[in-house]
Every structure is written in structure tokens, then in C-alpha cells.
Structure 1
Amino acid sequence: MSGDQADAAVVGTGPNGLAAAVTLARAGLRVALYEAEDTIGGGLRTEALFDRDIVHDLCSAVHPMAAASRFFRAFDLPARGVDLRHPEISYAHPLDGGRAGLAHRDLERTCAGLGRDGARWRGLMRSLLDHSEGVVDFVLSGQRALPRDPVAAALVGLRTLEHGTRLGAARFHGEEAAALLTGVTAHALGRLPSIASGAVTALLAHLAHGTGWPLPAGGSRSIADAMAADITAHGGVFHTGRRITDLRELAPARLLMLDIAPRGLLELAGDRLPPRYARALRRFRYGPGAAKVDFLVSEPIPWANPEVGRAGTVHLGGTHAEMVRQETLTARGVRTDEPFVLVVDPAVTDPGRAVGGKRPVWAYAHVPHGDRTDPVPLVLSRIERYAPGFTDTVLASRGIPAAGMEHHNANYVGGDIGAGAMTLTQSVLRPVPSVDPYRTPLPGVYLCSASTPPGPSVHGMSGYLAALSSLRREYGVRVPPPLGVRP
């Protein structure tokens, strides 16, 4: 099926483009998807890099939202054969001297390990866990309607104010608990503390003790493959290796869904956008960059604290004070030799990822926007600080500077994997202030990328909400189509 035959054309096959296509195809529309790269998935791609038997996640690796978001709950990945593997320790935060904070999936084990800070940790997490679905649905919404669970919304507001100010870490006695919480806060990729990072913390930290921080067996591409299979089963067609350079290439499709950043919309629409809207898109701010490093290693990471080696995700940033300083400098554009680094050894959770004594290691370093520095030495140094001897296990490595990330995925402008700075304003009013942030002034053209609410992460909600908006406005469809596996 070509664009001439399609009811809807989707540009970009990242998780949001796929979610939009799933929703539209389920509603009965003929959908054609266009992907500039040779493989679909965007941030969900998994490929062999150094050894044909060892696959590496090229962007995202750990997926809390695949187990929690409203779209994926309805889509039901496990029923489609996607095996979400849960580590016993959701994430860990090593400190000097062999110390570490450990966020077990079991809340009580976490609290026991934090000593006198255990009761405080429980106080932060228990109420969120009791209203977890409401918390997730409120944070991962368009923030344009009354919350379904007002108690959950109130809890999010309270925890956001607490985590987004100096109160968050000040309540703890020891460095382990404060660092454990701040490591989650740093996922917001911006200065610390901030209100936006507080909301990220409320969401991600409690999920570590609930639906978890799972890794899909075989890599992130299994999520994209499941979504693509559903789209194809409902008549959708994929066109890979097809870069769209002008919206007119997609005519006469009645509906256009764009999983692209605002800069991409400006390029594709040219002078057809109203000047006021175009100016607003140009004012859209992009955040700090992420530099990616992939390692092929000969053994598990030799953490100084062996318990860290049981975690699905490891945060390397030092103490709370060190992370606040580092992330704030990074947001200001100042490069240092001690970036915040996220590390994943997938075979810890998915043993099948280790083959013949070799295994992949995934890492991101937070760096200034557009930074061109080779991240491999930076990441090696950070891992060595907490895992002496790691360098000796490295068989091969590949680093992509922040400036190179957008060549891999055009939405990662300057290496911003969040597709837009997570400031207080842009957390909700993205890409421009609007009652319907997905609808553009061009007839039938909608944005559905992470540059729209609710923002970054593999949750599919931006695509899902954009698709529902388009179905309501263009076709008068007000009841969301069912997304589950049919008997």
C-alpha cells in the first residue's frame, strides 16, 4: 500500500509512531508507515555490533513504562510473546569504598538495606505504590483533563514538590539513600533539583518496587516487533529506507501522524506553517545530550560491591551533592570528566544475551548539548571507579558523541534523547502552548513524538493520545479502539 492508497501516513517508526499506527489501524484506517532508516523501531532497535551472536540495544534498554503505561497495559506485551524480564534489584547506586544503595523490587528488602533511612524510604514509596496505576496514568497523560484518581494526582504533586526541591535528599541521614533517589532524579536530564525532575522521580522510583524496571528478553526490538506485527495484521504497510523530505510526498493521505521533533516539522512543512506557530516551534528548547557507549566484554562487570552486579540498571554519579553539581553543570553546557552515567549489563537479567563467554554492556553518559567528545574514555573511567579491572574485560567498544546521536535518530537533536528539554514549562506545554498539543495548524497533520506530552520514555502514550485526538477531530470517533490480543 502506498501513500496514495492510505487513509493515514505515519512518519517515523519509534515507539510513539508505532503506537499511533496501532491505534489508527485498530480503528479501521489503512495505515502506511515511513522510516528513514533501514530498520524500524527508533529507540527500540537492537542489532549485532561486534559479534553476530551478541546483540546490543542501540538506544533504550530498560523499560519501566512497557510494564506500566496505559497504552502498553491495553496492548498487553506479554500476551504477544514479549518476555519482560525483571531483575531482583531494579537499580543500584555504588559509592566509594564498596558502599551501595540497592533498590530491590521488594520494598521491604530495600528499606532493610537502608538502615535508619528505611522508614523514610518506605514513607516516600508506599503511598505511591498504593495508587500506582493512578500515578502512572496522571503523569503519562496530556495533562488536559481532570485526573481519574484525584488522590494519586495529589500524591504526585506532593512528591514532585518534595523531590524537585532540596527537601528530597535532606530527609535522609545516610549517603546511600540520598544517592539512590538522586540517581533516579537524574533521568530527567537537566539541572537538579527541579520540579520536572521531581515528577520523574515520583514516577520511576516507585515503579522500581511495583511493576518494575524490566528488560525485554532478546533486546528492545522485541517490543517494536510486537507492535509492527499488530499493525501488519490490521492492514498496515511499512516503507523502510524512505526518508520523507516534504509533507506533500504523503498526499493524498487524509491524516498525517509525525513522530518527529519540532525541528523536523519545520523542515517538512516549509513555509506552509502559520508564522506564529512556526516561531513557537523555533523557540522549543532542546536539553542536554546523551553520549552512547557499547562494550563487548568477556565477563560480568567486576563491581567492588558484588550486590551491584545483580541490578538491572546501575547509576554512576557519586553522592547526591556530586550529582547535583554535575547535572547542573551539564545543563549549563559545561563539560567535565565525571559525567553521570547509566550502565546496563543485560545478561544479568537476560542470560541468553551472553554467548560463548562474551556479553554486551550498554551505557549512556550525560553531556552538554551537541558535545563532540568521544564518550568511551569518560565512561571507562566512571565504571573503573566502582568496578576496578573493568577495562581489562573489554573486547571491543563503540562510542557515539552527543553530536552524532541525531545521525542515528533525527529526533535526538544535539543528543537530546528526550526530544526536548524537561523544564517546568516544557514538561506540559510541549511543543507549544495549546489545548490540543498534538494538532498542528495544517489540516489533518498531527505531531505524535516525545516532543509532545507526556514526553520522553518508551510508553507509547504520545502516539496513542495523538491518534485518539485525530480520530476524534477528523473522524468523529470518540471511543478508543480496543488494543488487546483478540481470542
Structure 2
Amino acid sequence: MVDVEVVGSGPNGLAAGVVLARAGLKVRVHEAAATIGGGSRTLPLMEDGAVHDVCSAVHPMALVSEFFTSFELRRRIGFAIPEVSYAHPLDSGRAGIAYRSLERTVAELGADGPAYRRLMQPLIDSRDGILALTLNHLLRVPKNPLAAARLAAAVLDQGSPAWNRRFRGEEAPAMLTGVMAHPVGPLPSLTAAGAGMVLGLLAHAGGWAIPVGGSQAIADAMARDIEAHGGEILTGSRVHSLAELGGARAVLLDLTPPALVEMARGRLPEGYARALRRFRFGNAACKVDFLLSGPVPWTNSEVARAGTVHLGGARAEVAAAEADVKAGRHPERPYVLVSQPSLFDPTRAPAGRHTLWTYCHVPRGSTTDMTEAITAQIERFAPGFRDLIVDSHSSTAAQLGEYNENYVGGDFGSGAVDLRQMIARPVLAAHPWATPLKGVYLCSQSAPPGPGVHGMAGFHAAKLALRREFGLGMPALGIG
């Protein structure tokens, strides 16, 4: 007899499975695809021996989320943590470089270094309190009011039209804009600033980690733990209706709100179902993977030391590209995220080859292949890049939506990231992971705390299910 059915084997579904299996319950995880992992899959896309992260590649939250630290992920898999967390090249060989060392970052920013320190140091000093706030549910009263106040001050500083007031040069504001543009949306905005400030503080307080062997290693570690504690994982197992899972006392869904409505087949109260149907999805990404014959020849050699590179030029240019996407246009010079994991993890590619991970923002549902625009943007800051391309593999926004049904129209955040929808995600409730149906919980990125490979939506949903359905507390999640 199965106690718990989990639908979806993305990071959140697997996190829920870990918690519930560790509590001594019989857990079964269903995955419609042939492989587990959802947003943390790694696959061979081109040449034998070269593997590519299909969705997420660099994981700032993997070392700091409450679930992953309790699970002791760092002891289970290897991580490369570059000395340069991210870089933002500009024309004429200039670049903003976010070193793990705040002191070095400040020194390299010259006249804007002290202003950058005044923005980031209070956040770094309040790291744990800020993470406890942002990786939970924003409706809850902050346990650390000082941390919340410091984050709010930084968000207001960088989330308003006055975002340039503290800086004189281009490098520091460009750096901040690049990290704030991770969620697809207009710039400046409070939600973009919130995401950027958290990611920025982690760049200097722990670093941005790259899993050895690929992001799949994170999913595989959780899957092994579920199976070691008596759980079962079924791939190629598509669940069409909640009625198929009727024997379990708890059902956890790593799915979008519209998918929950469809699976419920009329069982949800109409008001709740209507709210789920109103859930909004954001704009999207076009993903392009490259196989290269050598490292990207960045004009500024320090950029090659970064695990993540943000392309788009100066602050105003990045904001203009994001405005194009919001207006339904494909930018001529898009904002591009780039990572060359084979520089830090040689297991990713055979000798003489390198893997390059990129994506740019596009309107939701786009069928436009942005390979040329991405290539041109890299060539702009790394002349000679074209000569290194051995092969490439692109996924349009529409194709990303087909690959992962939670990425509706290519929205890899599984729901628009704006202030209203970060508070009411997917509905305004004290416990938004719970649904009106007895024993049914939503544990995807469409629930708090939202996008990212952190496992926290699954962690929160599983903790709630343990208490409400089984009268159990949280089990120990660590090794041994």
C-alpha cells in the first residue's frame, strides 16, 4: 500500500519524496518523461562524451537552501565553485567582475566600489535571515526584522527609476542589472531587484555552485535517497487524473496550477479552480547549447574565470532588451546568460572539446530560433567565438514548453514573477501549498518560494502533509 504519491520528478517533487520517505512512509514518484530531473536534467545533445544541462546549470541555492543543507547535498555530490561568481563584459574590453571576495570586487570597481559595498555588505551580513525570508512564504512575519529591513532597503534602491543614483561608472550598475535580469521581466522593478539582491549576496557569501557531472547529479542524489528509504520512482508514468491516485493518503503535485485543475476533473471548489485558471505565466527563454573546440575567447580575460556571464552591454541596453520582450518583440541584441561548465568540470566534455550553455529571453510561446542573435552577442564580447563552434543545439520557447510541461510557453519559472504573484502564488493563503482537496498539495515552482533549484516548495509541502495527514514531524535528512 502506498502512503504518498508524488507526481513530477523535478527538484521540488524529489525533495518532497525525500522528506516523506525519510519519515517512514511508502512513497511512489511518477515521472511522465523517460528520465527524472525536470529542470535539473543533463543529457548528451550532440557529440558522444559531451553532456549538457538542458535547463538549469549554475546553482546559487544548492549550498544554502534549508532543504539542501539539511539533506547535506554538498557531502553527496561534488561542486565546482568558481572564484568569480559572475561577470558582465562591456564594450572596449571593460567588465564588471563579481568575485566571491567582496573586498576584491570593491577594489576592482574603482570609484564605485564603496557604493557597491554599502549596497551589498548589509545583505551579506544578514544572509541567513534574508534566505529564511525569501525561501519561505512572503506573507509570513519575518523572524529577523533587521534582515527584512536591509533587503527591503536594497530592493527599493535598485528596483526604482532612481537605481543609478549611487553610481558614476558603468561597470557596477551593469553587474547588478545582469543579475537582476534573471527573472524575465521589466527593469527596474521590485521583483527583479529582490531576485538580484539575493543572488548578488550569494555571489559573495558562498558562491554560485556548478555540480560536477551536471545538474542531473542533484536529481540523482535525491532519487537514490528516496529509493534507499523504501520509495519507488516510475519513469514513463503519466498520471492523467487524481482518481488514479485514490489509494494514497497524500498526493503531492510538482505541476502547474492549470494542470492541477485538469487532474482534479471537477472536484475542486469553483472559486479555487477559477483562481488557479487565472494564474499567469511569464515570458520565456530560447535555449542554445554549443559544442566548442576551445574556451570562449573573451576580450577581458577575467571573464573566463566566471561560472556565469551576463551579456547585454550597459544597464540601459539590458533594460531596453527586456522591454522589447515584454512588448512581444525579439531583441536584436538580447540579454544572454552564458556558462561554460567544462572550464570548471572536465567531466562535461572529451579532450579538445568544451560545452557552452546559453539562453536569452523571448516572448512566451516564441518559435524563433535565437542561435544567431546569441552567437552575435557572444562574438561582440569574445571576437573569434564563431570559429570555435563545432555544433549547436537550440530549443525555442515553444520547444521548451513541450520538453517540460511545467514551462508553459517556455516560461522556465512556471509562473510570472511579479510582486502580486509572488505573494499570491498560486493563491493568497497562509499555506498555499495545500489545496481544498483532502491530502492534495501543490509543490512546484508555481508555489512559494517560486523559481529556482532549491527544493523548498517540495520541502514546505511535504512538511505540511506530514503534520496534517500523518501527525508526524520533520525527519532527519542528513547522511548517517
CA distance in 1, matches of 2:349, 2:167: 38
Map of 2:15 onto structure 1: 19
List per-residue Cα deviations over 1:336-384 (Å, max 9, x = no partner): 2221110000022223324220111000111111111012112111111
Is 1:41 matched with 2:40?
no
* Partner Cα separation in structure 2 for residue 92 and residue 407 of structure 1: 32
Answer with 7-16 or 322-331: which moved more.
322-331
Q: Which residue of 2 aligns with 1:484?
A: 478
Q: Which residue of 1 aligns with 2:181?
A: 186
1:159 to 2:154 alignment: yes
Amino acid at match of 1:227: M
Quote how far apart the aligned CAs of 1:331 are: 2.0
Equivalence map 1:76-225=2 (5 Å): 76-80=72-76, 82-225=77-220
5+ residue gaps, structure 2: none
Instruction: Kindly provide the amino acid, as one letter, of the partner of residue 475 in structure 2.
Output: P
- What's 2:391 paired with? 396
Partners of 2:271 and 2:326 lie apart in 1 by 28
Please state whether the residue corresponding to 1:116 is helix, strand or coil: helix
CA offset at residue 445 of structure 1?
0.8
Helix, strand or coil for the counterpart of 1:170? coil
Give, in whole Å, the separation in 1 of the partners of 2:432 and 2:165: 37
> What is the letter of the counterpart of residue 480 of structure 1?
M
1:306 alignment partner in structure 2: 301
* Correspondence 1:62 to 2:58: yes
Task: Please name the residue that 1:10 is paired with.
Answer: 6
Contact 1:260/1:449, CA 8 A, preserved across alignment: yes
1:332 deviation in Å? Answer: 2.7
How many Å separate the matches in 1 of 2:265 and 2:333? 41
Which whole-Å deviations, capped at 9, do the CAs of 1:122-149 have from their partners, x for residues lacking one? 1111111112111111111123433222
The separation in 1 between residues aligned to 2:380 and 2:192, in whole angstroms, is 26
| 1:195–1:77 CA distance, 2 compared to 1 (3 A) | same
Separation of aligned partners in 2, 1:114 and 1:24: 47
Partner of residue 376 from structure 2, selected from 381, 391, 405: 381
1:12 shift after superposition:
0.3
Query: Distance between the aligned counterparts of 2:163 and 2:467, measured in 1?
Result: 41
Bigger mean CA deviation after superposition, 201-210 or 323-332: 323-332
Deviation track 1:52-93 (CA, whole Å, cap 9, x = no partner) reads 21110010000000011111111111222x112111110000
Preserved CA contact (<8 Å) 1:311 1:348: no
1:262 maps to 2:263:
no
- Is 1:191–1:329's contact at 8 Å kept on the other side of the alignment? no
> 1: distance between equivalents of 2:99 and 2:346?
19
Establish whether residue 440 from structure 1 lines up as the match of residue 435 from structure 2.
Answer: yes
Please state whether the residue corresponding to 2:181 is helix, strand or coil: helix
TM-score normalised by structure 2 residue count: 0.98
Aligned with 1:418 (options 407, 413, 417): 413
CA RMSD in angstroms, aligned pairs only: 1.1
Question: Structure 1 counterpart of 2:30, which letter?
Answer: Y
TM-score (norm. length: structure 1): 0.97
1:293-331 deviation line (CA, Å, top 9, x unaligned): 111110000111111111100001111111111112212
Q: How many pairs are equivalent? A: 480
* Distance in 2, Cα, partners of 1:328 & 1:445: 38
Is the 2:138–2:422 Cα contact (8 Å) retained in structure 1?
no
Between the aligned partners of 1:265 and 1:381, the Cα distance in structure 2 is 41
Q: Is the 8 A contact 1:287 1:331 kept in 2?
A: no
Conserved in 1, the CA contact under 8 Å of 2:97 and 2:105? yes
Aligned counterparts, 1:272-291, within 5 A? 272-291=267-286
Partners in 2 of 1:110 and 1:254 — Cα distance? 52
Residue 48 of structure 1: how far off its partner (Å): 1.1
Structure 2 CA distance for aligned equivalents of residues 226 and 175 of structure 1: 42
Asked if structure 2 preserves the Cα contact closer than 8 Å seen for 1:142 and 1:465, the reply is: no
Corresponding residue SS for 1:169: coil
Secondary structure of 2:265's aligned partner = helix
Q: Which of 284-293 and 351-360 deviates more?
A: 351-360
Q: Secondary structure at the residue paired with 1:454? A: coil
Amino acid at match of 1:359: H
Paired residue type of 1:79: R
2: CA distance, partners of 1:318 / 1:401: 23
Q: 1:251 aligns with which of 235, 246, 259?
A: 246
Q: Kindly indicate whether the alpha-carbon contact (under 8 Å) linking 2:51 and 2:349 is maintained by their aligned counterparts in 1.
A: no
Say whether residues 1:457 and 2:462 are aligned partners: no
One-letter amino acid matched to 1:78? R
SS in 2 for 1:397: strand
> How far apart are the structure 2 equivalents of 1:272 and 1:382?
49
Unmatched segments (≥5 aa) in structure 1 = none
1:210 CA displacement:
0.7
Helix, strand or coil at the partner of 2:114: helix
